[in-house]
Amino acid sequence: MAREFLSDNIWHDPEGTGYVMLDATNDVPPQIPTTINGEVLYPKAEYHCSLVDTRAHIEDRALEEQFIEDIKRFLARHAISVTSISDERLLCREKEKTTIVAPVILDGLDDFIGFVQERIPGFQTPWTHVTLLKTAETKYGIALPTQEEVAEYCRPMDISGRPT
């Protein structure tokens, strides 16, 4: 993942996914590998919250670059940070990908969403989460931008870590 830092804790992946992401690495407690139904899930090398998938909304690369510059200017005046990571865990599966995610509350997200919606009418507030564990082969997590994707791919885990 090539990173272009837009602020101290937010980056854009211009050569890969096109996502704008908030670094949550320092907010996530240490994770240990976990086996579920014979499948080993491993901690990630870094943790982040996806904020906006620029490629899903802006197909023209020049317009995407301008949008990223606008985001940089916004972030120079507004901070976004992790307020809390939920104790809730969800087991998510899509094709060959399996992950465990946790919902996240972000400070400053509402202002950012308002900013994005001014430029991308109809943009939906993302379901903010962090992928904690993933299968070894999974390069990226499962895209879960809305509650609809969460309902399709994820199910809650009980307190012991077992899928319910």
Burial label for 14, CB within 10 Å (0-12, 13-18, 19+), is middle
Cβ burial 65-90 (10 Å sphere, 16+ → b, else e): eebbeebeebbeeeebebeebeeebb
Distances (CA, A) of 90 to 94, 117, 164: 13, 28, 9
- pLDDT tens figures, 16-53: 888 999 999 999 999 999 999 899 999 999 999 999 99
Q: Are 31 and 82 in contact (CB under 8 A)?
A: no
- pLDDT tens figures, 80-139: 999 999 999 999 999 889 999 999 999 999 999 999 999 998 899 899 999 999 998 877
Report pTM: 0.90
H or E element that contains 111: helix 109-119
